[in-house]
Structure 1
Amino acid sequence: MDDTNNLDRVDLKLLAQLQRDASLSNLELAERVGLSPTPCARRVKRLITDGFIERQVAVLNAEKLGYDLTAHVSISMDRHTPDRFENFEAEIARYDEVVDCSVVTGQSADYLIRVVVKDMKHFEAVLLGKLTRIPGVTGVHSSFVLRKVISRTEIPLT
């Protein structure tokens, strides 16, 4: 659903600044978008309340933290029933190593997940000890990231 009709130019500037650096103080943010601090704070609060800002996080360097392996894993299910999918999604949400999970179409897989782990031994433990044990999982295909070419968190607002 496109709610961007509810946003003006200043709202879009606020969102652009915050998605680049959510640690900006209200004063810094107000200066960057040309507002005084009180209206700036009000607008940011409205953007949060209206759901345009889901949360504010720090983006960590996985390699510096010892997580040197990222895998994209395609997962196929045996049945396409609501209960089967709900069970899978509830189970996969419990695994800290899974940082992204999407239902996909146009492939032989039903889900595409991104797994971040320390090394291949850690990946093997996740694959064999967790993923393949989820009821209904019939196929798992893994691809490993050799090098990131682009890694963005920003959504284009133009």
Structure 2
Amino acid sequence: MEQMTLDSTDLHLLEQLQNDASLSNQDLAGRVHISPPTCLRRVKRLHEAGLIEREIAVLSVDKLSAVAGHGLCAIVEITLDHQDNAALEAFEKRVAADDAVQQCYRVSPGPDFCLVVHAAHMPDYLALAQRLFTVDANVRNVKTFFSVKRSKFGARVPLPL
């Protein structure tokens, strides 16, 4: 597959979309100083190339927790007994399918995985730990850090503008 080249217009489009993906095509074109048809064509190309994976709404966990729970955020380090590719992929697939797991990273050195999970409260976290870690005979060690304050949260990738 041929590698895509990005020019400054593409980078500016990506930057604007990272900040606010809800912009209309007209507004996005105006911010990047291109015509709306050109903007639409370029954004479509960026999607098709996989540079834009998806567009989502980022919810306020702090405000939502008062209404719907999910007030407990944990960063969990997982070490497996067996690290062969099949074991790593099986664990990764199982945690990725669980709605409570917001992020999953395979890491090295140290633990095999770092997860970011959200739960309504401690009993909810304990149920998550039981279904994802305790029942898996290949999980050797679980180390959990509970967030007391979120100082920064984002998904923005710095771009060379």
State the TM-score, normalizing by the size of structure 1: 0.92
- Given candidates 97, 101, 107, the residue that maps to 2:100 is 97
> Does 1:71 pair with 2:74?
yes
Residues 106, 114 of structure 2: 8 Å contact kept = yes
Q: Render the CA deviation track for 1:109-143: whole Å, top value 9, x for unaligned.
A: 11000101111111111112332212411110000
Aligned to 2:17: 18
Matches of 2:86 and 2:155, distance apart in 1:
32
The alpha-carbon deviation at position 4 of structure 1 amounts to: 8.6
Report sequence identity in percent. 39
Distance 1:53 1:5 in 2: 13
Q: Once the 2 structures are TM-superposed, how far is the Cα of residue 57 of structure 1 from its aligned partner? A: 0.5
**Alpha-carbon distance between aligned partners in 2 of 1:143 and 1:58, rounded to the nearest angstrom:** 26
Task: Provide the alpha-carbon RMSD of the alignment.
Answer: 1.5
Q: Deviations over 1:43-102 (max 9, x none)?
A: 000111111111111001122222111100000101111121121112112210001111
Alignment CA distance shift 1:30-1:4 (3 Å): farther
Q: Secondary structure at the match of 2:59?
A: coil
Secondary structure at the aligned position of 1:130 is classed as: helix
Which runs of no fewer than 5 residues in structure 2 stay unpaired? none
Report whether the alignment pairs 1:146 with 2:152: no
Is 1:134 the counterpart of 2:136? The answer is yes
Cα distance in 2 between the residues matched to 1:6 and 1:99: 31
Look up the match of 2:50: 51
AA of the residue aligned to 2:83: H
Runs of 4+ residues deviating >4 angstroms: none
Is 1:113 aligned to residue 115 of structure 2?
A: yes
